[in-house]
Structure 1
Amino acid sequence: MTQDVWLPLPPEEIRGLPEGPNYLFWDGGRQEFPGDPADCAVYVVPYMRREPVKIRPLRAMTGLRVIQTLTAGVDDITANLGLVAPGVRLCNARGVHETSTAELALTLTLASLRGIPGFVRAQDEEHWQGAFRPALADRTVLIVGYGAIGSAIEDRLAAFEVERVIRVARSGRTTARGAVHPFTELPALLPEADVVILSTPLTDETRGLVDAGFLARMKDGALLVNVARGPVVDTAALLGELAGGRLTAALDVTDPEPLPPGHPLWRAPGVLITPHVGGPSSAFRPRAERLLVDQLTRFVNHEPLRDVVLTTGA
């Protein structure tokens, strides 16, 4: 029996898709579905859509076997697994976003340290004013969440003569680069870092991880960079530190998100905000297409799928 595969990219534009499935295009931008959700076997979740759009067809997808996201984080799907029947495999997009997100993490770090937002505002006012700013060189950088994205961030730090990289993940381990410390060691490590970069997934363990206690342990003048998820950081606690000028921050993600007009984060001193653009760049599309071709080929050939986060009901 022919099985439907819902794709958020036009299937005719993806070279190498395996024969067999009936490919239907739905990117969440139109209200009507491309086919009967009950016939969908593989649902590739629309990219850069809000959670209500992503989950809207799930309850009716009674024949679903695979949910494939095009994001590294899957928290918006795991929060709605009650809509999904048992036995459905949820896969994330490992390998798609490491390049773009690591690139943005370095961009935010460098822009914040070197005061680029202030220079842009001065340019708008046609005002020439130099300043002495800290460099990334000779600094200690702590990466919280040392998975594929965290490792890619360290790849890019290597060119900037940082003095030391401290790696932290949920579980400690040893890599070719050195030790990865467990979360339990964070309190002792935070005072050593000039820059703290968050690249951890949002889970019950990491929600609110960066609370008042976490921030208080960061050294005076340190920079917090968040390319993870907004709720990893306690916004009220961060606002308190920013208002006092003790810390600075560069945030690609916020809580709430989107950040509404009038929210105090917009005008907090020492903060640089980008609108959750860590993933969407020219690097996204070719990597996403390669992932889909490989994953759907595995599905058609009954081979093990890549990057299975969980199986519902297991």
Structure 2
Amino acid sequence: MPTDRPTAVLAMGAEVAEALFPPGLRRRLTASFAPDPVELNGSLTTPGARAALAGADILITGWRCPPLTAEVLAAAPRLRAVIHAAGTVKSLVTQAVWERGVAVSSAADANARPVADFTVAAITLAAKKALPTAARYRDGWPSFAEREGAYGRSVGIIGASRIGRRVIARLASSGNDTRILLSDPYVSRADAEALGARLCDLDELCRSSSIVSVHAPKLPETHQLLDARRLALVPDGGTVINTSRGTLVDTEALAGECATGRLNAFLDVTDPEPLPPGHALLKLPNVLVTPHIAGAQGSEVSRLGLYAIEEAERWIRGEPLHGAITAAELTRLA
């Protein structure tokens, strides 16, 4: 272990660092290290960056940090931990990091909370058919018979990820008698029941859910997991919600289903991202597309900074990292 006050380097965009560590958190951060952490806002291979990395025991990274290649690690012989003040580390952590035995942690848990909040809000709006009902309102006040409620709906959750599990927990405790289906190849039937869901295969989930919410990671085997065939299984009037990765849904097949009015959609991610101007999904009244805002935004970003600081403090004390990630786990994570 390093000394009681190790040396840290921050590596992220300048505006990212400002959002992650407002003055109060910055003071807490600097109190843990000696000297104050050096901040790198660009390349990690410049002479100045290499000089800073030479004495680094811990690297705190964020959005816009370049990949931690073998060249970068060669300039950081003392590096023992990388704490990422954001979600996924797939574009950041290279094989060289694992080969060096550097501990890796992510603030994905902190980022999961606002995504779960956003998703549950979308599910509530979907259950009430808010988008198509609002569209009908343009032509006159919708009748009582045209209105929908959230009670007793069937919601299919694809993927028991950090976010998927949070969403299941919220739905199970909502008091709306929601029937929750779960499809995840890594979850047992007993585990699903413990979460409050019924495990089933993906085809059954699509056939049996009026709302389908996507929470699986981006992997080769999950590419267009919701393809034209599976989208066709979703009952008429159903809604697809995607706050995970755009590639998990066949964009054009979904656009076709929504254009007919058969399905509705709430999409915080798309493929491609962003969608080209004038794309059908941007114009349909029964589709809401948001520009990847479900995760930590604005004032929420400081939650990620706090998580990273608490992880650094745990590492200094020699305690287990709450957001620890292993090479084996990374293949199944977002």
Fold shared by both chains (TM-score > 0.5): yes
Instruction: Note the residue ranges of structure 2 that are not aligned, 5 or more in a row.
Output: 12-16
Q: Does 1:265 align with 2:281?
A: yes
**TM-score, scaled to structure 2:** 0.74
Give runs of aligned pairs for residues 50-65 of structure 1, distance below 5 A: 53-55=64-66, 58=69, 59-62=71-74, 63=76, 64-65=79-80
User: CA 1:113/1:43 → structure 2, altered by over 3 Å: closer, same or farther?
Assistant: same
1:86 to 80, 99, 109: 99
Task: After superposing the two structures, state which structure 1 stretch, 280-289 or 242-251, moved more.
Answer: 280-289
Which position in structure 2 is the counterpart of 1:13?
A: 24
Corresponding residue SS for 1:187: helix
Going from structure 1 to structure 2, the CA distance change for 1:121 and 1:5 (only over 3 Å counts) comes to farther
Of the candidates 293, 298, 311, which is equivalent to residue 277 of structure 1? 293
Tell whether 2:169 aligns with 1:165. no
Residue from 4, 10, 35 that aligns with 2:8: 4
Task: Write the distance in 1 (CA, Å) between the matches of 2:88 and 2:160.
Answer: 14
Query: Secondary structure at the residue paired with 1:228?
Result: coil
Corresponding residue number in structure 1 for 2:243 = 227
The residue identity in structure 2 corresponding to 1:151 is: R
Q: SS at the partner of 2:311?
A: helix
Residue 238 of structure 1 aligns to a residue whose secondary structure is: helix
- CA offsets 1:231-254 (integer angstroms, 9 cap, x no match): 111212222322333211110111
Contact between 2:107 and 2:308, CA under 8 Å: does it hold in 1?
A: no
Counterpart pick for 1:291 among 288, 307, 321: 307
**Distance in structure 1 (CA, Å) of the matches to 2:86 and 2:21:** 18
Distance 1:277 1:34 in 2: 34
Higher alpha-carbon deviation: 103-112 or 60-69:
60-69
The one-letter amino acid paired with 1:86 is: E
8 A Cα contact 1:221 1:246, kept in partner: yes
Q: Following TM superposition, by how much is the alpha carbon of 1:276 offset from its aligned partner in structure 2, in angstroms?
A: 0.9
Q: Sequence identity, in percent?
A: 27
Q: Aligned partners of 1:288 and 1:89: how far apart in 2?
A: 18
* Unaligned runs of at least 5 residues, structure 1: 48-52
Structure 2 vs 1, CA of residues 195 and 293 (structure 1 numbering), >3 Å: closer, same or farther?
same
Which shows bigger deviation, 153-162 or 228-237?
153-162
TM-score by length of 1: 0.78
Partner of 2:118: 104
Contact 1:137 1:162 in 2 (8 A): yes
Matched, 1:205 2:221: yes
**How far apart are residue 282 of structure 1 and its match?**
6.6
- Report the CA distance between 1:168 and its aligned residue: 2.5
After TM superposition, the structure 1 = structure 2 runs for residues 143-182 of structure 1, keeping only pairs within 5 Å, are 143-157=157-171, 158-159=173-174, 161-173=176-188, 174-175=190-191, 176-178=194-196, 181=199
For the aligned residue pairs, the C-alpha RMSD in angstroms reads 3.5
* Cα distance in 2 between the residues matched to 1:83 and 1:243: 47
The amino acid of 1:278's aligned partner reads A
The amino acid across from 2:288 in the alignment is L
Q: Deviations over 1:78-99 (max 9, x none)?
A: 6xx2675722333222430232
- Comparing 138-147 with 63-72, greater Cα deviation is found at 63-72
1:191: Cα distance to partner? 0.7
Q: Which amino acid aligns with 2:199?
A: H
Structure 1 or 2: larger helix share? 2
Q: Does 2:151 align with 1:137? A: yes
In 1, the alpha carbon distance for the partners of 2:140 and 2:40 equals 50
For residues 139 and 204 of structure 2, the distance between their equivalents in structure 1, rounded to whole angstroms, comes to 42
Alignment of 1:306 with 2:322, yes or no, is: yes
Match of 1:46 in 2: 62
Match of 2:255 among 219, 223, 239: 239
* SS class of match (2:326): strand
Q: Could you say which residue in structure 2 is the equivalent of 1:50?
A: none
Alpha-carbon contact 1:226-1:250 (below 8 Å) kept: yes
Q: Give the match for residue 92 of structure 2.
A: 77
Shift of 1:274: 1.1
Name the CA shift for 1:4/1:142 in 2 (closer, same or farther; >3 Å).
same
* 1:39-80 CA distance string (max 9 Å, x none): 344333324xxxxx33267553432443333333334336xx
